[in-house]
Amino acid sequence: MQKLADGSVAVVARDGDLHIGQRGRLIVVTSSDGGESWSMPSVVAGEGPDDRNPAFGQAPDGTLVVAFVKLNRYVSGRYVPDAPIDRHHPLCFVTRADNPHADWSPPARLPLPPGSYSPYGKIVILANGTMLMSLYGRRLLDERVEEEDAAFILRSQDAGRTWGDLSVIAGGGFNETALLCLPGGRLVAALRREYRDERRADDVWQAGSDDAGQTWSQPRRITRKGEHPADLVRLHSGRILLTYGQRNPPYGVRALVSDDEGESWDDHQRITLVGEAATSDCGYPSSVQLDDGAILTAYYVYESFGPFRAVVGTNMGIHAALVKYDEAALP
């Protein structure tokens, strides 16, 4: 989700299939009344197979930019996790448009080294206009795939037309990473860590950079197990809001607040934004703050026992939803 230059809000989401499914496509919806109502969806990418995992941003010149990956691991329509893929030509692409509901450009392949990758989260902009995109994946080194994910940054100097200068945020199992650029130029990253030991649940770690993302501090853990992935937004007050999926019961979305630009988080004030998801397959929040101070947090759930049940009489299945609240309501 991004707050656009004209004050409207745009959400890029995946629809068309289950959490894993080859019919998946990317759509965009917009709101011009603070999230109270939303447009009909327009297709961003739908050629398949399984267009998914968008990174979304607005370039300094106003152009909208979406990067995504095609998950080509289907055999006769069935998802096969270990299906052979061409790691020498990663299926990551970028598309651009003048406005959300205009025609999106033909997807252009991102220039990535051999391996398998996926974009993630909000594309951020440095003071000099450089766009930074978060990606994660595993590189192919000497024809051998790395055993664990790493988090990366890819850069664009021309409003998202071309990308390059790949650099590493952190290796060793870090993947879905949210980026935030602070007014002084410091970058904050909130990284999901996935453990090879299946008895350990994923969590979120934090790292910082003072050289435009070329080098990063050693990551430190900031959420508990089963709390991931994360999103970051700087509020009008200067506080930072970290939202994340709560994959421990009660399932949903929670938040932490930092009063010192991410140096510390108020762990004693864990804010429940959503608590009625029916399963741990939930989260992926994305937040923006409107000009009037209201905060919007969009999120994903597989099933919900929340207010929608009272309307339709049953669970909605997979859907995206949004919660709206005031900054003044945060502790």
Q: Quick check: 310 pLDDT over 50?
A: no
Strands across the sheet containing 282-289: 282-289, 294-301, 319-326
Question: Which H or E element spans position 309?
Answer: helix 307-312
pLDDT digits (tens, 9 = 90+) for 15-73: 998 888 899 999 999 999 999 999 999 999 999 899 999 999 999 999 999 999 999 88
In this prediction, what percent of the chain has a pLDDT beyond 70?
A: 97
User: Which is nearest to 112 in space by CA: 69, 81, 170, 158?
Assistant: 69
- What does the DSSP assignment read for 172-187? SSEEEEEEEE-TTS-E
What number is the average pLDDT over the span 154-167?
98
Q: Which amino acid is at 257?
A: V
CA distance 73 to 75: 7
pLDDT digits (tens, 9 = 90+) for 70-96: 998 887 778 888 887 888 889 999 999
pLDDT digits (tens, 9 = 90+) for 245-256: 999 999 999 999
pLDDT for the residue 141 = 84
Q: Quick check: 261 pLDDT over 60?
A: yes
pLDDT for the residue 313 = 53
Give strand pairing partners of 326. 294
Domain annotation for the chain: domains and CATH numbers: 45-221 (2.120.10.10), 222-331 (no CATH)
| CA-based end-to-end distance of the chain | 24
What number is the average pLDDT over the span 168-187?
98
Could you tell me the sign of the dihedral formed by the alpha carbons of 142, 144, 148, 152, in that order?
positive
pTM here? 0.95
Joined together, the tokens standing for residue 86 give 């061409």
CA distance 84 to 94: 24
pLDDT for the residue 316 = 67
Q: Which residues have CB under 8 Å from 256's CB, separation 6+? A: 222, 223, 241, 242, 244, 265, 266, 267, 269, 270, 271
pLDDT for the residue 311 = 52
Give strand pairing partners of 152. 135, 168
What does the mean pLDDT of the chain come to?
94
Q: Quick check: 150 pLDDT over 80?
A: yes
Joined together, the tokens standing for residue 285 give 């929040």
Q: Quick check: 312 pLDDT over 70?
A: no
Task: Please say whether the beta carbons of 243 and 254 come within 8 A.
Answer: yes
CB atoms inside a 10 Å sphere around CB 110: 22
